[in-house]
């Protein structure tokens, strides 16, 4: 019984620990889903974008403006570690609107003008041409990461646009590296550090806190990261749910074994009580028998003494009888002589 109680206790503690882990994972998934949904809502509502961009994209959804692919920030992807640098390098260009042709851009501009909805920059695929770095030896510079355009993922048809915006921008590790490379190339390059500081062609420097557009690009990255984390946590949750089911099955089996053993123990206790009762009766009979034997032994001893006394009396009587017989014979003899 004690062994099964320990097993039940052990399985119960494991099951409770597993339940706590499952609850924590569930809460973690809920938090991430909630954050992802909030960011997704911000993205759908185009929070952080200018009024002009929002106005154009609303018309695109309504179908009144055509030939528009979308806002640049929503057409590209960047790994999380480079998102700050690329956001900084693009700046306001993150909100540029990509169109198929110049006429598509012209119609959108006229819409903004007619409705007094503000200004926006458009990037027609048909006319925008890329720019490339011609400087050599950057790969050998300490702190060099990559040309900014190489860190952006997009559909191939947007390569010229990305190249036009980032083809001559170099991403480096930090400001010290940027200063060193800028001097080496006579202040001809635009250099952006991973934390978003900038050295412009000509030598001017821009830095400090994040810009107004900061977060627009990383928002999509965070949504993707949160969804990936939720998928991973869901897989972990399913695995642990299987483990919990196994634990609960083992716990039920242990409880059944414990209940069966407790029933056996109860029956054994009842047997002990019956045996003790039988033993008591036997002991009482044994005591009576011993007492009877003692009494019989005592009676035997007394009878022996009486028998010895009677034998003594008998011997005495026999001696007396013999004496009387001899005396009687003597008397008869005397009588006969006197006759």
Secondary structure, 3-state, 189-208: CEEEECCCCEECCCCCEECC
Cut 0.75: pTM above it:
no
In this prediction, residue 210 carries a pLDDT of 63
Strand order in the sheet with 205-206: 144-147, 169-172, 190-193, 198-199, 205-206
pLDDT at 213: 46
Query: CA 89 to CA 95: how far, in whole Å?
Result: 13
Helix axes 80-90, 216-338, angle to 10 degrees: 160
Q: What pLDDT was estimated at residue 71?
A: 93
Residues 38 and 236 sit within 8 Å (Cβ to Cβ)? no
135 and 185 Cβ atoms separated by less than 8 Å: yes
At 67, list the tokens. Answer: 């030939």
Tell me, what's the pLDDT at 212?
A: 47
pLDDT reported for residue 200: 93
Note the pLDDT of residue 336.
Answer: 81
Output the tens digit of pLDDT for each of the chain's 339 residues: 899 889 889 888 888 998 998 999 999 999 999 988 888 888 777 778 889 999 999 999 999 999 999 999 889 989 888 989 999 999 889 999 999 999 999 999 999 999 999 999 999 999 999 888 888 899 899 999 999 999 999 999 999 999 999 999 999 999 999 999 999 999 999 999 999 999 999 999 998 866 444 577 777 778 888 898 999 999 999 999 998 999 999 899 999 998 999 999 999 999 999 999 999 999 999 999 999 999 998 888 888 888 888 888 889 888 998 888 888 888 888 888 876
Give the list of residues 6+ apart from residue 71 with CB closer than 8 angstroms, or none: 46, 49, 53, 57, 94, 95, 96, 97, 98
Summarize pLDDT for 217-230 with one digit per residue, the tens: 777 778 888 898 99
Nearest residue to 25 via CA among 162, 229, 288, 219 = 229
Specify which residues 123 forms β-bridges with.
Answer: 98
């Amino acid at each position: 019984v004690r062994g099964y109680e320990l097993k039940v206790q052990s399985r119960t503690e494991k099951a409770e620990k597993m339940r706590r882990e499952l609850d924590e994972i569930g809460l973690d998934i809920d938090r991430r889903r909630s954050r992802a949904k909030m960011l997704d809502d911000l993205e759908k509502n185009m929070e952080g974008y200018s009024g002009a961009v929002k106005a154009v994209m609303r018309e695109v959804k309504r179908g009144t403006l055509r030939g528009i692919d979308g806002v640049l920030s929503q057409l590209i992807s960047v790994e999380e570690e480079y998102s700050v640098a690329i956001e900084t390098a693009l700046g306001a260009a993150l909100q540029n609107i990509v169109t198929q042709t110049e006429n598509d851009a012209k119609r959108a501009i006229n819409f903004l003008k007619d409705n007094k909805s503000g200004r926006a920059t458009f990037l027609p695929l048909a006319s925008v041409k890329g720019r490339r770095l011609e400087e050599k030896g950057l790969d050998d510079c300490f702190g060099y990461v990559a040309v900014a355009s190489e860190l952006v993922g997009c559909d191939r048809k947007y390569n010229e646009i990305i190249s036009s915006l980032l083809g001559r921008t170099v991403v480096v590790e930090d400001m010290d590296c940027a200063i060193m490379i800028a001097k080496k190339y006579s202040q001809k390059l635009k250099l952006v550090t991973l934390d978003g500081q900038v050295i412009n062609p000509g030598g001017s420097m821009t830095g400090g806190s994040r810009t107004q557009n900061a977060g627009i690009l990383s928002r999509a990255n965070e949504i993707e990261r949160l969804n990936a984390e939720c998928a991973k946590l869901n897989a972990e949750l399913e695995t642990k749910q299987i483990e919990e089911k196994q634990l609960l099955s083992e716990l039920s089996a242990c409880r059944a074994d414990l209940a069966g053993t407790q029933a056996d123990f109860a029956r054994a206790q009842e047997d002990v009580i019956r045996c003790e009762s039988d033993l008591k009766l036997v002991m009482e009979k044994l005591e009576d028998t011993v007492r009877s034997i003692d009494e019989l032994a005592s009676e035997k001893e007394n009878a022996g003494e009486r028998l010895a006394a009677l034998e003594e009396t008998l011997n005495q009587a026999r001696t007396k009888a013999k004496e009387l017989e001899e005396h009687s014979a003597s008397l008869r003899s005397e009588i006969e002589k006197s006759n």
